[in-house]
Amino acid sequence: MTTITARPVLPAPRRLFGSAPLWAVAVVGLVTLGVLAPLASLLLTAAEGDAEIWPHLVANVLPAAIWDTGRLLAGIAVLAGLIGIGTGWLVTAHRFPGRDTLAWLLPLPLAVPTYITAYVYVEIFDATGPVQAGLRSVFGFASRADYRFPEVRSLTGCILVMSLVLYPYVYVTARSMFLTQSACMIEVARTLGANRGTLFRTVAVPLARPALAVGLSLALLEALNDIGASEYLGVRTLTVSVFTTWLNRGSLPGAAQVACLMLAVVIGLIVLERNGRRDRRYALSTRRPRVAQPVPLPGWSGIAAAALCSLPVLLGFVLPAGFLIREVARRGLLAQLDASFLAHLATTIGLAGAATLATVGFGIVVVTTSRLSRNGVMRAAQVVVGLGYALPGTVLALGLLGPLVGIDNALNAIWRAMTGARLGLVVMGSAAAIVVAYTIRFLPIATGSLAAGMDRVSVGIEDAARTLGAKPRELVTKVQLPLLKPALATAGLLVFVDCLKELPATLLLRPLNLETLATLVYGHAARGQFENGALAALVIVVVGVVPVIKLTRHAEGQRHMDAAP
Amino acid sequence: MTTFAYGRSLFLGAFAAGFLAGSAAPAPAQEVNLYTSREPALIKPLLEAFTKQSGVKVNTIFAASGLEERLRTEGANSPADVLLTVDIGRVQQAKDYGVIRPVTSDVLVQAIPAAYRDPDGYWFGVSLRGRVVYASKDRVKQDTITYEELADPKWKGKICTRSGQHVYNIALFGAVVAHKGEAKAEEWLKGLKANLAKKPSAGDREQAKDILAGVCDIALGNTYYVGLMRAATDEQRQWGEAIKVLMPIFQETGGTHVNISGIAMTKGAPNPENARKFMEFMVSDAAQKIYADVNFEYPVKAGIPLDETVASFGELKPDTLPIAEVAKNRKVASQLVDKIGFDN
């Protein structure tokens, strides 16, 4: 850290937004408007319709949908939570064979889109798949009716598949929390005689709560908004009901009403969680946190730990990726790798990259402004900005159609007044609409991750910096951002990979002739030939894996630096 | 620092690439812009043939759902000329939204039987597929079946299907409602539900796979999937070979339920002449032949030879019920599916 030269501090008049610069407040306002626009458009659509369809929905659709959704989310919360926290703690607090490798392998399932894992699991574990075929030939069963085997296309199957894809959200955030947890607390607990289990329960987990809340809520929102995997596995979630209400029950307003209801529930949960930890503080002491020395796990317990941590990687990454590689090889799909495929790859990376830059940039402004202003309005803005993720991709895209076309129409009106010619659609006619959608949808990942990191920056450090004469900008660039670096990297990674995989908003908002890898996969799946999309699917996974590995390596490097005194 | 350096170079390069790809402005005159819910690879040979013949370039946006909403919102500034759908429901919705316009064309009217086009000339069916019964070659002896029979308790625990809310099933159930009225249709649907071997899920091909595995004996499915499965070079071929196709009929008309690929011109089409050319091309002999060969669908125009596999299913006698009647009953069908808990 560079030295901050002392300047005389004059008592400043109290301002509405504290020390936050006005331009930053304006940016936050703009971003908030951007997030509110599709929500408002959704509310307008909902208000268009009467309640005519509700007796039917209440009697025949919603009870089952709510029950299924509830069980799905509860199952994923437990399973993904256990896997994410458990493995995160094992690889951080302990030393065992293969630990360093597993630490960066564990986030990899994140690179595999949920719908791909769902498809692969059905291929492998369904009645005609290799597993059941093997069972039949070993035990001599004639048909599927002769034996019991858990059904993949079921709620249980869906919980398993989604947990395997989504646990990395919990793992990544939990691990970065465990890594920066001050060694003092852990060592004090050890001195007081806490054993490994007590330490995990009473120190590690409570301290990691902000990160866990972020990780788990990302995973659950992702599950709630999923449409591909749930539909394929025959689980009728609320999101599936939104779609059937729109497309089959012929009521877009009804669908918007159900979507608003879902949104209300999500907001309720977010508020509950925030209130739950309102009175706690998670700030680190002013000294640079020192990482506790990992405890070696000898003999069998070490091997057991290695096995436990390998399992999610095998099931969530190796199995689906291996399946895709096999399909690419035996179908000779490398032949698809032509100039247009590479152009689509460039488009995909370009869109994801642009959206990641925008998302992380806006995320920094929103979170630091909220902190600097110490003002309720800015904190509220931070919550509002978090809502984009609570909408299913297609619903967000439908909500965005109106506002984006509104901008286009305004541009056209101006253009026509000036030149008399037709301009056409500028925003909807270019990739800009997709970048806007990605940014709104994934901004909460950035703000969530950064806010959790910010919670751990002690106000004392900032006060000290201010006392030493740091201006607000210096406070952000020299104090907050360096401390937020791990959180920034995590946010950037998660957003980039999510953008690579995003499908529903891309489908609905893309301009003529634009393809991303996800839409290529979807194109094949749409005519029932998913396997022919294996190359595009595999490339999504590979492109997603690169930043995942880079990031975890980076975090490891940091850790060794910290560990060395 | 490495992460950020890596990230920066990747993002900046990618940023530029993304926007260049997105904003390539095509030349105005010789093009036609197509919004399609038909998968691009399936229509690519058609589009290429059209461009070769007419010199008009075809730009596409493919999405399975939401294109009508997009058209409605984009309004007068929409670049779209033509809407192509895989189901009667979507194109009817577009008409209800007022985003498509009537087209008067002798070519279209002469090629397409009246049952497969809108009476007011808003939309036209360009190909047909039957919603039929896949039956196990080993375990099912009979070679004929009626839709009514699917509710017969003799099939208890022996039928598989995808979700009742899927557009293909909704169209079939809509036809049942049109034939029998809501009350009888509900009774039939309950009977069918009682016969299901498992909870509805996945797609039509998976049902054939379940027949192969012995999970069920018969399933609902579209005709072209059988063509696709049997033409495959991998294990899907076995799924296709394990089943035979029964052409179910309605007792009332002796016909099989068919659905259409619908085509329509958008209200604000900036290239109406090219749009018309494209629509008329779609019912030309050449295009109809491609439809039959690549997609394993039934050409809508008389006198076009069928694909061999499709021909082997036996003669398709389409239900005489106008497809527009089916479209009207979609909502009722969907609500019946909810009401009896078909997907539970």
List, for residues B151-187, the tens digit of each pLDDT value.
999 999 999 999 999 989 999 999 999 999 999 999 9
Distance from CA of A8 to the nearest CA of B (A): 34
Out of A343, A402, A429, the one facing B73 most closely (by C-beta) is A402
Q: Does B48 touch chain A (CB under 8 A)?
A: no
Between A143, A144, A489, which is nearest B3 by CB?
A489
Judge contact between B298 and B306, C-beta under 8 A.
Answer: yes
A293 vs B208 pLDDT, higher one? B208
* C-alpha dist (Å) from residue B47 to A108, A155, B44, B97: 40, 41, 5, 27
The HSE-up count of residue A444 (CA atoms within 13 Å, CB side) is: 22
Name A24's Cβ contacts closer than 8 Å, sequence gap at least 6.
A365, A368, A369, A372
Contact residues on chain B for A61, CB-CB shorter than 8 A: 338
Q: Does A408 fall in a domain?
A: yes
DSSP run (H or E) holding B82: strand B82-85
CATH of the domain at A503: 1.10.3720.10
The confidence score (pLDDT) of residue B233 equals 82
- C-alpha atoms less than 13 angstroms from C-alpha of A486 in its C-beta half-sphere: 26
Whole-number Å distance between alpha carbons of A43 and A481 = 37
State the complex-level ipTM: 0.81
pLDDT digits (tens, 9 = 90+) for B102-125: 999 999 999 999 999 999 999 999
| Residue A207 pLDDT | 75
What single letter denotes the amino acid at residue A14?
R
Task: Write the DSSP string, B26-47.
Answer: PPSSSEEEEEESS-HHHHHHHH
Above 90 in pLDDT, residue B13? no
Q: Is A94 exposed, middle or buried (0-12, 13-18, 19+ CB in 10 A)?
A: middle
Long-range contacts of A377-380 (CB under 8 A, 24+ apart): A378/A17, A378/A20, A378/A25, A378/A28
Total Cβ atoms within 10 A of residue B73: 21
Q: Give Cβ neighbours of residue A366 (< 8 Å, ≥ 6 apart).
A: A27, A28, A31, A381, A382, A385, A443, A447
Measured torsion, CA atoms of residues B133, B138, B140, B141, in degrees rounded to the nearest 10: 120
> pLDDT 10s per residue in chain A (565 long)?
455 555 555 555 556 677 778 888 899 999 999 999 999 999 999 998 877 888 889 988 899 999 999 999 999 999 999 999 999 989 988 899 999 899 989 999 988 999 899 989 998 998 888 888 888 888 888 777 788 888 888 999 999 999 999 999 899 888 877 876 656 777 788 788 888 778 778 877 787 777 778 788 889 988 988 888 898 898 989 998 888 888 877 788 889 999 998 888 888 877 777 766 665 666 655 455 566 678 888 889 999 999 999 999 999 999 999 999 999 998 888 888 899 999 999 999 999 999 999 999 999 999 888 888 877 788 788 888 888 888 888 889 989 999 999 999 999 889 989 988 878 888 988 999 999 999 999 998 898 888 877 877 777 888 888 888 888 888 888 888 888 887 888 889 889 999 999 988 998 899 999 999 999 998 888 777 788 899 999 999 999 888 878 767 666 655 554 443 3
How many Å apart are CA A35 and CA A443, to the nearest integer? 9
Contacts of A250 in chain B (CB under 8 A): 93, 330-331, 334
3-state secondary structure A194-250: CCHHHHHHHHHHHHCHHHHHHHHHHHHHHHHHCCHHHHHCCCCCHHHHHHHHHHCCC
Alpha carbons within 13 A on the beta-carbon side of A131:
13
Integer Cα distance of A116 and A20 in angstroms: 44
Residue A430 belongs to a domain: yes
**SS3 sequence, B298-342?**
EECCCCCCCCHHHHCCCCCCECCCCHHHHHHCHHHHHHHHHHCCC
Phi-psi region of A424 (alpha: psi -120 to 50; beta: other; left: phi over 0): left
- Counting Cα atoms < 13 Å in the Cβ hemisphere of A157 gives 26
Burial per residue of A463-501, b for 16 or more beta-carbon CB atoms within 10 angstroms, e otherwise: eebbeeebebebbbebbbeebbbbbbbbbbbbbbbbbbb
Asked if residue A488 is part of any domain, the answer here is yes
Q: In whole angstroms, what is the distance from residue B83 CA to residue A555 CA?
A: 50
Number of residues that this document lists for chain A: 565
End-to-end CA distance of chain B: 53
User: Torsion angle of alpha carbons A485, A91, A114, B239, nearest 10°?
Assistant: 150
The token pair at A329 is 């090889």
Which has the closest alpha carbon to A443: A366, A504, A545, A505?
A366
CA-to-CA distance for A489 and A506, rounded, in angstroms? 25
| Assigned domain for A290 exists | no
Supply the DSSP string of A17-75, one letter for each residue: TTT--HHHHHHHHHHHHHHHHHHHHHHHHHHHS-STTHHHIIIIIHHHHHHHHHHHHHH
Say how far apart CA B292 and CA B311 lie, in whole Å. Answer: 10
Domain annotation covers residue A362 = yes
Of A505, A544, A249, A500, residue with least CA distance to A392: A505
The reported pLDDT for the residue numbered A343 is: 95
Give B21→chain A minimum CA distance, Å.
6
Residue A554 has a pLDDT of 65
Indicate whether B269 pLDDT > 90: yes
Provide CB contacts within 8 A for B70, sequence distance 6+: A401, A508, B35, B63, B78
Domain count of chain A?
A: 1
Q: How many CB pairs under 8 A join A and B?
A: 225
Tell me what pLDDT residue A530 has: 82
Q: Taking a contact as any Cβ pair under 8 Å apart, which residues of chain B between 170 and 209 contact chain A?
A: 170, 198-206, 209
Instruction: Walk me through the domains of chain B, giving residue ranges and CATH numbers.
Output: 30-128+259-307 (3.40.190.10), 130-257+315-339 (3.40.190.10)
Report how far Cα A365 is from the mean position of its chain's Cα atoms.
20
Q: Is B138 on the interface with A (CB under 8 A)?
A: no
Measured between alpha carbons, how far is B317 from B300 in angstroms, rounded to an integer?
13
CA A513 from centre of chain:
28
A127: in domain? no
Do A154 and B213 make contact, defined as CB atoms within 8 angstroms? no
Q: Which two tokens stand for residue A180?
A: 């920066």
**DSSP assignment letter at A389:** G
Give residue A561's pLDDT: 46
Q: How many residues appear in chain B?
A: 344
pLDDT of residue A15: 63
Chain B CB contacts of A514 under 8 Å are 21-22, 61
With CA atoms as reference, the chain A residue closest to B269 would be A424
Q: Which residue has the tokens 């809108």?
A: B118
List, in sequence order, every residue forming a beta bridge with B35; answer none if it has no partner.
Answer: B61, B83
Q: Which helix (H) or strand (E) holds B83?
A: strand B82-85
Report pLDDT digits (tens) over B24-48.
444 445 999 999 988 877 888 999 9
pLDDT at residue A333 in the model = 87
Q: In this complex, do B11 and A234 lie within 8 Å of one another by their Cβ atoms?
A: no
Which chain A residue has the Cα nearest residue B73? Answer: A402
Residue A72 burial by Cβ neighbours in a 10 Å radius (0-12, 13-18, 19+)? buried
In a domain, residue A31? The reply is: yes
Expressed as residue numbers, the domain containing A443 is 17-41+350-511
Question: Rounded CA gap, B344 and B342, in Å?
Answer: 6
Residue in A244, A331, A408 nearest the CB of B334: A244
* CA distances (Å), origin A283, targets A45, B37, B287, B303: 43, 52, 69, 78
| Burial status of residue A541 (CB atoms within 10 A of its CB: 0-12, 13-18, 19 or more) | buried
Structure tokens at A148: 């019991």
CA atoms within 13 A on the CB side of B50: 28
At B59, which helix (H) or strand (E)?
A: strand B57-62
The dihedral built from the CA positions of residue B107, B111, B112 and B114, taken in this order, carries a sign that is positive
User: What whole-number distance in Å separates Cα of residue B80 and Cα of residue B85?
Assistant: 14
